[in-house]
Structure 1
């Protein structure tokens, strides 16, 4: 294991907050991670809350201190997290994909959500904390979230939270090593190959309404490139377009 042993915190507001506190005290090395049985204020993208029954799921965060990574190239860090989750869950079931930019789906249902928070020093990223909730053993979701699913619901089995965490962190360590060795383009290609609804036309929505399009590419900065049925190329940054599921 080429990373610090994960730190267990029984309960926290959020694992991102706990890890940020550890980092602020100078007590975190690269790939330090924390995990918890329960979050009182688990956060998702767009200010959403992350529902997780106490002790049932994997709630964790890890930190990367990238050296000399320009803020405009932050998307590579998101890809590292997404691919580590994708590879781990693919060991347990078929049908896993990455829904742009960083949700993990099984078929048309969400099994993981990630929130990445970056701190800058000048034009570069000084610290990046990636926090993820993985639905492992929860059987019932009550929050009204439209399409959650757990690994246990998919397979009918129960999973050891620490075992899954260590698998994920092994993959994170591997992909981070690739990044450090200058293999970002290989990571980008693997990410694109794993993308949700990569083939064929599907329905999307932007500020102008709904439309059908196919995924043309995902650029280095994370820009989502679609081509609609009229042949128009549409380019989107985060939150500018959504899937219709």
Structure 2
């Protein structure tokens, strides 16, 4: 269990809401380098993020005030670089739990996307600062589709939003969503130990998207069929291909 206690009042006081920013992760990094000390669970929320970051160098583009885009700061206690994926798990578990209050079939797609009914609703990007082979601080960027009714042509079959997945079609207040999710994140962060890899990976794998299902993947320039088995303690995806167990890093495999 973490040592800090983050009350709702503490989280509200440490939430900075901006009308527009290029990237909440970049804004928080600049803030961290210029203001010391910066409290844990300082959060930057943007009503409009113009150059949000994603995995594989992609961008996360959203309509103004339709998505929840924010970044928060954590100082993990005694977290080795080799256990960096454990923090990713805690964040994903918290988001999955928060979304499950509103809708069913919420799953974690390796390494850190959240899917509902086979469509992406959330992406996470964690940027760590390293010192003495340990993670000194972490900036966690989160983007969740909240009120979108429509997506671009190339995304409308692959993306969804909280509004589209709930029976109540009333748009959500973005800032209220942010504070509510921050409370869930704080609770989850305090509940689980970052060093308890066995528990964390078991919970993560139980929620793993397309686990145990035959699916198509893109590997080394070729399309192959395999079955996701789990994510191992190194954070690699374990897939059986032609009956053989193989593990992959992020850049080595892609879902089709």
**TM-score, scaled to structure 1:** 0.92
State the Cα distance separating 1:75 from its structure 2 match.
0.2
Q: For structure 1, which runs of at least 5 residues remain unmatched after alignment?
A: none
Q: Distance in 1 between matches of 2:149 and 2:213?
A: 32
Secondary structure at the aligned position of 2:251 is classed as coil
Secondary structure at the aligned position of 1:227 is classed as strand
Match of 2:250 among 220, 238, 244: 238
1:1-245 to structure 2, matched below 5 A, reads 1-2=6-7, 3-5=10-12, 6-24=15-33, 25-142=35-152, 144-145=154-155, 147-155=158-166, 156-180=169-193, 182-207=195-220, 209-228=222-241, 230-244=242-256
State the Cα distance separating 1:27 from its structure 2 match.
4.4
**Structure 2 CA distance for partners of 1:183 and 1:167, relative to 1, 3 Å:** farther
Q: Distance in 2 between matches of 1:184 and 1:204?
A: 27
1:151-208 Cα deviation digits (max 9, x unpaired) = 1122233112123222321222122213447544322211111110113222222115
More displaced 10-residue stretch of structure 1: 189-198 or 137-146: 137-146
1:44-75 Cα deviation digits (max 9, x unpaired) = 11121112111111011111111221112110
Q: Distance in 1 between matches of 2:129 and 2:194?
A: 23
**Structure 2 CA distance for partners of 1:176 and 1:184, relative to 1, 3 Å:** farther
Q: Distance in 2 between matches of 1:238 and 1:97?
A: 18
Secondary structure at the aligned position of 2:52 is classed as coil
Q: Distance in 1 between matches of 2:133 and 2:42?
A: 24
**Structure 2 CA distance for partners of 1:221 and 1:207, relative to 1, 3 Å:** same
**Structure 2 CA distance for partners of 1:140 and 1:226, relative to 1, 3 Å:** same
**Structure 2 CA distance for partners of 1:185 and 1:162, relative to 1, 3 Å:** farther
Q: Distance in 2 between matches of 1:167 and 1:187?
A: 22
Query: What is the aligned length?
Result: 243
State the Cα distance separating 1:21 from its structure 2 match.
2.0
Q: Distance in 2 between matches of 1:143 and 1:37?
A: 24
Alpha-carbon RMSD across the aligned residues, in angstroms, is 1.8
Between 1 and 2, higher relative CO (CA 8 Å, sep ≥ 6) is seen in 2
Structure 1 residue ranges, 4+ long, deviating more than 4 angstroms after superposition: none
Q: For structure 2, which runs of at least 5 residues remain unmatched after alignment?
A: 1-5
The question of whether the paired residues in 1 share the 8 Å contact of 2:105 and 2:117 is answered with yes
**TM-score, scaled to structure 2:** 0.88
Q: Distance in 2 between matches of 1:208 and 1:231?
A: 20
More displaced 10-residue stretch of structure 1: 54-63 or 202-211: 202-211
